[in-house]
Amino acid sequence: MVNEVKGFRTLAAWRKAYDLTLVIYRLSRTFPREETYALSSQLQRAAVSVPANIAEGYERKSKKEYLQFLHISQGSLGEIETYLLLARDLGYIDEQSYCGANDLREETARILRGLIRAIEKAARTT
- How sure is the predictor about 3, in pLDDT bands with cuts at 50, 70 and 90? very low
Question: Which domain covers residue 78, as residue numbers?
Answer: 10-125
Residues 20-28 have a mean pLDDT of 98
Burial of 20: CB neighbours in 10 Å, binned 0-12, 13-18, 19+: buried
Number of domains in the chain: 1
In a domain, 60, yes or no: yes
How far is Cα 49 from Cα 22, in angstroms, rounded to an integer?
A: 12
Read off the pTM.
0.92
**What CATH number should be reported for the domain holding residue 53?**
1.20.1440.60
Residues 9-31 have a mean pLDDT of 97
Residues 109-125 have a mean pLDDT of 93
